[in-house]
Structure 1
């Protein structure tokens, strides 16, 4: 340990002893000039303690359809209670807590409208789907100590994301891939917008989305870049779903869909840019190295590769994403939330050149790492 770091540690230990003193905290809370600091620290700590309760208020509003019923309208608590099958007093209780979390707003008497956060959730089917999906995650977190001790042999998320553990992913059937493919498609609208705001795909004659699922991100590229040819590569059980979705988006005539395992099967080399959106984060380092090595073998020199996913970093959004995804992937039994530096090291190790980080408007959703074959 350097002398500077040793000094920092000594300062931190001294500070911790000071803050840990009830007498000191009492003085800070009583003194007018420092009272706001004490209140903020106290509120921040209570948010950590109470976070699960907050999430369940949101979950209840979604599962009962409260936010959906308030979309573009005003409704009374009595009407909402009747529609949602709750006693009026219980609906009033839920609405009051939702108002405190900025989901709804009381406008007059018992009349309610959506607040900012509620309006976003109500307008985004992908957020609805993810909030409902979190019921699985919460069950896995019921005993976090056991999860951290690796006592769980089989978690809800591990069963849900079966492809991450399959000996041969190409053998997975549509009955398994369809639920998570639909979830990924419905939750990608904001992510796609975030990526497209950060990188111009119209510069490429053709784009290949590896692990593209039902084609939600590829469809977003197709709409934004009308002259770009589209290619998608995913498991054979997913490609039929992708063809149907892209046909519904009127993109079938510009799209080629290819089936296979992206860690071992040849990947088409007929695109100038290859994207991997929320792919590497789902897998441990060993399989990521296989995926990138297979990409490097398959692609022609000069092909651009774009990695897009939530990455650990110093911004507020990146820190929130890292806390969330680190536990999510632990429950899933595969993957991790990497920093952009870690992803660049993996790309260099696979033989790719000039890896560089490109920020997006919302690092909570994604950061980009670009490289060249």
Structure 2
């Protein structure tokens, strides 16, 4: 343990003794210099308590279509209630709650319009798809202790993402493939923009997107690198969706399609760079190691793997990576976020030589790790 670490541990122990003391709490509220800090900390603690209520207001606002409705024009509470067939008092309760969370705002005439967060949602419609999908997670959180302990049994999210981690190429039927692929593709454009801003694929000859879903990332990459050869690899039912999407975009000649399981099937040879986008954190360590080994066998000595997903160990997104995703993956029944060191260790086990983090503009959207074959 270093001197700085020991000093911080000592300071933290002192801080905790003070904050847990009723006498100090009374003093902090009474002392003018400490009062703003005391108020701020009290609010933050209450936000932890009320967070689930906030998420339900968000869900109800999006589910009822209030973002789209008020994007068009401001409306009064009675007008909104009439359009949705609600009691006016009940509607006003929801609207005031949404306004308090800055999802909505109140105009000078008393009508409701979009707030700062509501306007951001209107500009990112893919977020709304994830919000409405979260009713499954909310049901699984009825008993969070049982969920975290592993005693919750079959969960809604586990059923929804039942294909994840399967060794079977036939694990996903066409109908189920369309459901989960549409949900993932909804946010893939934002992820693709971050990846393409952080890594230059112009230095490569042939890109394979392993677990490439319906080809949203490859379509974005093709727009920037029209001469880059590409391959999409995913389960057959998913890959077929990619074939249709990419053909419709006029990319059928630039992007090849290969169907199979990245856990059990060999990847097609030829690419010198592979992407693994929001795949590793859906799987346990053994599965991630198998995928990485599969990719390493396919790549040439100068090849690279670009891994993209939210990373643990990044202070600015710690609540998202470790609290939100921690519960989400517990409900899903597998997977976890990992630190750069944890991913690097798996990569070395798989036969890669080194790994380093690449800076992205929005770590909340995705982190990025470049893993070198040699």
TM over 0.5: yes
Q: Which runs of 5+ in 1 are unaligned?
A: none
- Structure 2 partner of 1:147: 147
Secondary structure at the counterpart of residue 168 of structure 1: coil
- Structure 2 partner of 1:37: 37
Q: Tell me: CA distance 1:148–1:109, structure 2 relative to 1, closer, same or farther (3 Å).
A: same
- Structure 1 partner of 2:100: 100
Secondary structure at the counterpart of residue 300 of structure 1: coil
Q: Distance in 1 between matches of 2:167 and 2:200?
A: 37
Aligned: 1:48 with 2:53: no
Q: Tell me: CA distance 1:243–1:326, structure 2 relative to 1, closer, same or farther (3 Å).
A: same
Q: Distance in 1 between matches of 2:45 and 2:38?
A: 11
Aligned: 1:253 with 2:253: yes
Could you tell which deviates more after superposition, 67-76 or 255-264?
67-76
Q: Give CA deviations for 1:170-228 in whole Å, capped at 9, x if unaligned.
A: 44322332211110011212211122221222333332110011111111112222222
Q: Tell me: CA distance 1:113–1:286, structure 2 relative to 1, closer, same or farther (3 Å).
A: same
- Structure 1 partner of 2:202: 202
Alpha-carbon distance, 1:165 to partner: 4.7
State whether residues 233 and 259 of structure 1, in contact with CA within 8 Å, keep that contact through their aligned partners in structure 2.
yes
Q: How many residues align?
A: 373
**In angstroms, what is the RMSD of aligned CA positions?**
1.9
- Structure 1 partner of 2:79: 79
Q: Distance in 2 between matches of 1:7 and 1:279?
A: 39
State whether residues 185 and 214 of structure 1, in contact with CA within 8 Å, keep that contact through their aligned partners in structure 2.
yes
Alpha-carbon distance, 1:3 to partner: 8.1
- Structure 2 partner of 1:111: 111
Q: Distance in 2 between matches of 1:89 and 1:224?
A: 52
- Structure 2 partner of 1:327: 327
Q: Which runs of 5+ in 2 are unaligned?
A: none
TM-score by length of 1: 0.94
Q: Show the 5 A alignment for 1:1-373.
A: 8-9=8-9, 11-373=11-373
State whether residues 277 and 309 of structure 2, in contact with CA within 8 Å, keep that contact through their aligned partners in structure 1.
yes
Secondary structure at the counterpart of residue 307 of structure 1: strand
Alpha-carbon distance, 1:318 to partner: 4.2
Q: Tell me: CA distance 1:363–1:4, structure 2 relative to 1, closer, same or farther (3 Å).
A: closer
Could you tell which deviates more after superposition, 262-271 or 272-281?
262-271
Secondary structure at the counterpart of residue 271 of structure 2: coil
State whether residues 163 and 171 of structure 2, in contact with CA within 8 Å, keep that contact through their aligned partners in structure 1.
no
State whether residues 158 and 332 of structure 2, in contact with CA within 8 Å, keep that contact through their aligned partners in structure 1.
yes
State whether residues 213 and 239 of structure 1, in contact with CA within 8 Å, keep that contact through their aligned partners in structure 2.
yes
TM-score by length of 2: 0.94
Alpha-carbon distance, 1:133 to partner: 0.9
State whether residues 274 and 295 of structure 2, in contact with CA within 8 Å, keep that contact through their aligned partners in structure 1.
no
Q: Distance in 2 between matches of 1:281 and 1:353?
A: 21
State whether residues 268 and 299 of structure 1, in contact with CA within 8 Å, keep that contact through their aligned partners in structure 2.
no
